[in-house]
Structure 1
Amino acid sequence: MALFGKDIKTLDDAFVHTLQTIYYAEKQITEALGKMIDKASNTSLRQGFETHLEETRGQIERLERVFEMHGADAEESKCPAIDGIIKAGDSMASESDDAQVRDACLAASAQLVEHYEIAKYGTLVAWAQQLGRQDCARVLEETLAEEKATDEKLNKLAKGELNKQAETAQA
């Protein structure tokens, strides 16, 4: 795997590359959330997506701060994993004609994205700490906490409302 035309040889190289892939991912997620807001019929789900869209914009700004703090350029590196997760979620939601089933699918798709982000940010925090970059770790921990909170909200909404409504949808 190449980073700036060279192999990833150090933990620092891996850290910067992972920052670049999550930076790309957050920008893709911003686009996807706009589409998900339009597809959501459940008011709570739509509002949750709108809130998370604003959080995601702030997360992008935090990533740019981490790049600067670490002395690296804020560049994107394509991430096939997030592209696949977003594509799969869009496909599942698009194939549902029933609004309640679609809402359940949208929530499930959003949780897949959150789990990906939790894994990426958890790794970045651990690597920042290992590299002695507590300053970067603290900024990344803010985003990790937001991602975990969003996942929990989606889980409660899905279990408490969306999945039950989808189950009673007309076949």
Structure 2
Amino acid sequence: MARKTMEDLFVHALSDIYSAEKQLTKALPKLARASTNTALAAAFTTHLEETQGQIERIDQIVEITGLKLKRMKCVAMEGLVEEGNEVIEEIEKGPVLDAALIGAAQKVEHYEIASYGTLAAMATKLGMTEAAQLLVETLEEEKSTDQKLTLLAEEHSAGQA
């Protein structure tokens, strides 16, 4: 898709994160099953519910703006999901795998934070106030999830000391 205008760029970025979120809904249950830390498994399950809500917000944005998403695959998320799958396959279940899962999940969160921050700024620039508000709502959820993962990592490493 040619990205000649700010709106073209917005549609491309929104389509990309939509694909990313869809991929994440398939990956999060696997991360939860791989974790031996019950708090971490619960965090993955909670984030799955949030992700489903974030997909619904993107659907709302499409409805509000009348824009049409492009069919595409987010290759960045595909790579992050694959990286998570590799640690599950390569590391024995236990505290080391849990630490690796937290790291993999935080990489995903940071990608999402960057994506939603950019999308919110573009929506604002395009005068899509309602869309911008929905994107900021998702951005704040992603930041919150990242903070929860940081706390889990700190608790996890304190337990290993």
Is TM (by shorter chain) over 0.5?
A: yes
The answer to whether residue 97 in structure 2 is matched with residue 102 in structure 1 is yes
How far, CA to CA, are the matches of 2:38 and 2:9 in structure 1? Answer: 40
Contact 1:68 1:74 in 2 (8 A): no
Match of 2:75 in 1: 80
Match of 1:59 in 2: 54
Alpha-carbon distance in 2 for matches of 1:158, 1:76: 36
Q: Retained in 2: the 8 A contact 1:23–1:60? A: yes
Q: For residues 143 and 65 of structure 1, what CA distance do their matches in structure 2 show?
A: 12
With normalisation by structure 2, the TM-score equals 0.95
Residue 69 of structure 1, aligned match among 64, 69, 75: 64
Q: Does 1:114 align with 2:109?
A: yes
AA of the residue aligned to 2:40: L
Tell me how far apart the structure 1 counterparts of residues 35 and 70 of structure 2 sit (CA, whole Å): 32
Cα distance, 1:32 vs structure 2? 0.4
RMSD over aligned Cα atoms: 1.3
Q: TM-score, normalised by structure 1?
A: 0.90
Contact (CA 8 Å) 1:23, 1:75: kept in 2 or not? no
Which ranges in structure 2 are unaligned for 5 or more consecutive residues? none
Q: Which runs of 4+ in 1 moved over 3 A?
A: none
Q: Read off the aligned partner of 1:135 and give its amino acid letter.
A: E
- The one-letter code of the counterpart of 1:55 is E
Q: After superposition, give the CA deviation of every residue in 1:134-166 in whole Å (9 maximum; x if it has no partner).
A: 1100011110000000000000110122x345x
Taking every aligned residue pair, what percent have the same amino acid on both sides? 47
